[in-house]
């Protein structure tokens, strides 16, 4: 495994992965469409540390544009493996614009799978989401659960992509691993996500809006732990034959929303200022990952505590605003 193709390379997770791969002397082709979900300049900044690296090649392209994507594949050395991180993000916005999510998640993934088949590329790691579990009552969530009841269009598209991946695995013998990420946070986190938004509000001396009574919980996973899991999944799919697997990548330690808010205030050295609001449509009550399968088959083990991760994020945030 020498050549890696990374979609969504200018995003939060994608940019961290590209940095890690380039540091390990892989050759990386990255694509991104600079989706307007959050400002282009944020993604440009994410790219800045490696865009001119001698082993990195970048294309600005939309995965939903099959002819343009085909052009890219004719210009590059065929990759040994694809890491497909690109997606239209956001649970709540997907309720307002479901067709956008169908096009940029499902159609985009179908296009990529079609080009893999045409160009004889056999290996892929796909970024799925804990959102596929919906509001399951049984915890922790494990990969064998029936996830046929998504509660947002975003979750529906992620599960649809997993099914598409299986179909292409079955028809064309593509080896694919689906990784269900659980609330990834850390330096460069998307500005629309809770930890980033809350920190921003604290620094603006504005109250934090807490939806519900603070008893909802999330399995927050630090970016370095996620990247470790992605690398291990890449090695697993690269070395395997006839592979189709699903793995949770989480922290296995859910944090209550009210505790998260308290910890963010503590990390920033400020007193709490909270505005309580009703729960929002599409939000799940909790996420809680069983990581037993990923630990057993991939050797995945998260090691960053919530306190340590929030401290690293807060330090990055302060430097990024200088």
Q: Which residues are catalytic?
A: 154
CB atoms within 10 A of CB 200: 14
C-alpha 261/C-alpha 16 separation (Å) is: 25
C-alpha 287/C-alpha 137 separation (Å) is: 10
C-alpha 42/C-alpha 20 separation (Å) is: 19
Residues present in the chain in total:
322
Burial (0-12, 13-18, 19+ Cβ within 10 Å), 262: middle
CA distances to 25, 130, 211, 215, 286 from 136, in Å:
41, 11, 20, 16, 9
Say if strands 81-84 and 244-249 run parallel, antiparallel, or are unpaired: unpaired
What are the phi and psi torsion angles at 86 (to 5°)? Answer: -65, 140
Bridge partners (DSSP) listed for residue 7: 31, 84
């Amino acid at each position: 495994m020498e050549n890696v193709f990374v979609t969504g390379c200018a995003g939060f997770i994608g940019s961290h992965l590209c940095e890690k791969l380039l540091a390990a002397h892989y050759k990386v082709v990255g694509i991104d469409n600079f989706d307007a979900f959050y400002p282009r300049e944020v993604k440009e900044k994410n790219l800045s540390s490696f865009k001119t690296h001698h082993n990195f090649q970048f294309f600005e392209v939309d995965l939903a544009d099959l002819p343009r994507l085909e052009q890219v594949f004719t210009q590059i050395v065929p990759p040994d493996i694809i890491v497909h991180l690109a997606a239209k993000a956001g649970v709540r916005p997907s309720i307002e614009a479901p067709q956008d999510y169908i096009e940029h998640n499902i159609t985009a993934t179908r296009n990529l799978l079609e080009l893999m088949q045409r160009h004889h590329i056999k290996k892929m790691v796909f970024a799925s989401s804990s959102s596929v579990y919906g509001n399951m009552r049984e915890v922790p969530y494990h990969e064998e659960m029936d996830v046929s009841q998504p509660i947002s269009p975003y979750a529906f598209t992620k599960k649809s992509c997993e099914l598409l991946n299986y179909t292409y695995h079955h028809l064309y013998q593509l080896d694919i691993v689906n990784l269900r990420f659980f609330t990834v946070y850390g330096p460069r986190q998307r500005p629309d996500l809770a930890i980033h938004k809350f920190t921003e509000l604290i620094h603006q001396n504005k109250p934090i809006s807490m939806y519900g009574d603070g008893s909802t919980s999330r399995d927050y996973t630090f970016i370095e732990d996620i990247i470790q899991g992605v690398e291990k999944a890449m090695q697993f799919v690269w070395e395997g034959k006839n592979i189709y697997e699903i793995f949770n990548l989480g922290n296995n330690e859910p944090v209550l929303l009210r505790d998260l808010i308290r910890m963010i205030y503590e990390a920033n050295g400020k007193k709490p200022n909270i505005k309580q609001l009703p729960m929002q449509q599409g939000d799940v009550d909790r996420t809680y990952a069983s990581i037993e399968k990923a630990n057993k088959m991939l050797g995945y083990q998260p090691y960053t505590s919530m306190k340590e991760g929030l401290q690293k994020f807060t330090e990055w945030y302060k430097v990024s605003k200088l």
